[in-house]
Structure 1
Amino acid sequence: MKDELRRVRERPDTDAAPPVLSLFVIDVSGDAAAYVERLRSVLAPAVRLGCTADFEQKSLPVDEVPGWFAAVGSGSGDEERAPRFARAGREAYAEHTGGGRPWDLHDWLYRFDPDEDSRGWEWWDATVAGPSRVHVRVDSWGESFFGCQDLLWAVFTAGAVRVNGPTIQITSFRENP
């Protein structure tokens, strides 16, 4: 998880990529670079918790989780105070998943428990692919079908309008930074 945390914080060396990655093509509302920063700001504290937290506890420290992300989740009571992009993403997530319910913040964070087997992906990178398009790559260990509802929750609530994927991509194709 320490390597994953490093990749969440900063772009990885492309030569270190595994042979295949899963690609999500994401259309966003607004500036693509700002979207990438929001997405990283959500994933960084979650992956950091995976490195440091005691997941046997009933609750996890949430101080580093962005307030807007905590507010848009199920049961927060602050849904209306979440920014427009997060509320719209919450609705887009429900539509994309066929009625998927919003995630409770603690349930979402518990997916980053290193002993939890339900997270079928590991963060690799996000790149701006156009003014309103982002490519997110995750390591799904070569699997074309894997559990990624937790990732989709973060992707949508960070401001995704539409998500295509995942598709398996051979990493010999390199994208310019």
Structure 2
Amino acid sequence: MIPENELDRTSMRPDTGPRGPLAAFYVEVDRWDESSEFARRVRSLVRAGVEVSMRCDFDMDELPEIFLPSWVNEEDVLETRRDAELRYALHRGAEEWAMQDLLFSFDPRQRSWEWWDATQASGNVVQIWVDSRGEPVFACDELRWILYLSGARSVVGPLLVPLEIWERQQSVGISSA
């Protein structure tokens, strides 16, 4: 799959799915009416990482942060970040994530997943879909951090899920959804 396709999927629903199953994360947000905003935030952070992976040299000491969405630097995000750090630590253990860590995790030589979509599963549960090339277990801590930083209350997954489930759900976090 070429990176431009992944970049397109950060802002619109794909027309078709991959040949095999997708890996899905079930993400609980506070309220059902926060699903679209949560998905927009996730999409914008993943888009920044994909942009960096397409345009930057990962042998540099520091990657440019110009692709990061403006909301990650807003003052009210500080409380959200502290909450995200706690939730991530409870889920995966204490590990600090700087924005540089997040950007470097999109190194195309190391990343084992590609963004696919975000859909409304039910109520206040959003499903985040990625293509792990059929692998049930893969490195994805950066994605978990993105989910918590974007406002996830809890995250379950990844789980391999048949493509038909994704096809039946409505995409969220995009203007045409």
TM-score interval for Structure 1 and Structure 2 normalised by the shorter chain: 0.7 to 0.9
The DSSP-based 3-state class of the residue aligned with 1:86 is: helix
Tell me which of 56, 77, 86 is aligned to 1:82: 77
Give the alignment's Cα RMSD to 1 decimal: 1.9
Report the equivalent of 1:9: 11
Structure 1 residue 143 and structure 2 residue 144: aligned? no
Structure 1 residue 114 and structure 2 residue 114: aligned? no
Report the equivalent of 1:74: none
Aligned-partner residue type, residue 25 of structure 2: F
2:49 and 2:108 map into 1 onto residues whose CA distance is: 11
Report the equivalent of 1:66: 69
Report the equivalent of 1:94: 89
Report the equivalent of 1:18: 19
Deviation at residue 44 of structure 1 after TM alignment: 0.8
Alpha carbons of 1:151 and 1:70: their partners in 2 closer, same or farther (altered >3 Å)? Answer: farther
Deviation at residue 170 of structure 1 after TM alignment: 1.5
- Using the size of structure 1 for normalisation, the TM-score is 0.84
Aligned-partner residue type, residue 166 of structure 1: P
2:101 and 2:112 map into 1 onto residues whose CA distance is: 16
Structure 1 residue 161 and structure 2 residue 161: aligned? no
Deviation at residue 29 of structure 1 after TM alignment: 2.3
Q: Is the 8 A contact 1:24 1:136 kept in 2?
A: yes
Deviations 1:45-68 (A, max 9, x none): 110111111222221110231355
- Using the size of structure 2 for normalisation, the TM-score is 0.84
1:151 and 1:176 map into 2 onto residues whose CA distance is: 21
Report the equivalent of 1:38: 41
2:79 and 2:61 map into 1 onto residues whose CA distance is: 31
Q: Is the 8 A contact 1:27 1:161 kept in 2?
A: yes
2:126 and 2:76 map into 1 onto residues whose CA distance is: 26
Deviations 1:117-147 (A, max 9, x none): 2x22111110122342100011111111111
- The alignment of Structure 1 onto Structure 2 pairs a total of residues equal to 165
Report the equivalent of 2:54: 51
Q: Is the 8 A contact 2:26 2:155 kept in 1?
A: yes
Deviation at residue 86 of structure 1 after TM alignment: 3.2
Unaligned runs of 5+ in 1: 72-79
2:84 and 2:70 map into 1 onto residues whose CA distance is: 15
Q: Is the 8 A contact 1:5 1:47 kept in 2?
A: yes
Structure 1 residue 130 and structure 2 residue 122: aligned? yes
Aligned-partner residue type, residue 17 of structure 2: A
Deviation at residue 112 of structure 1 after TM alignment: 1.3
Unaligned runs of 5+ in 2: 171-177
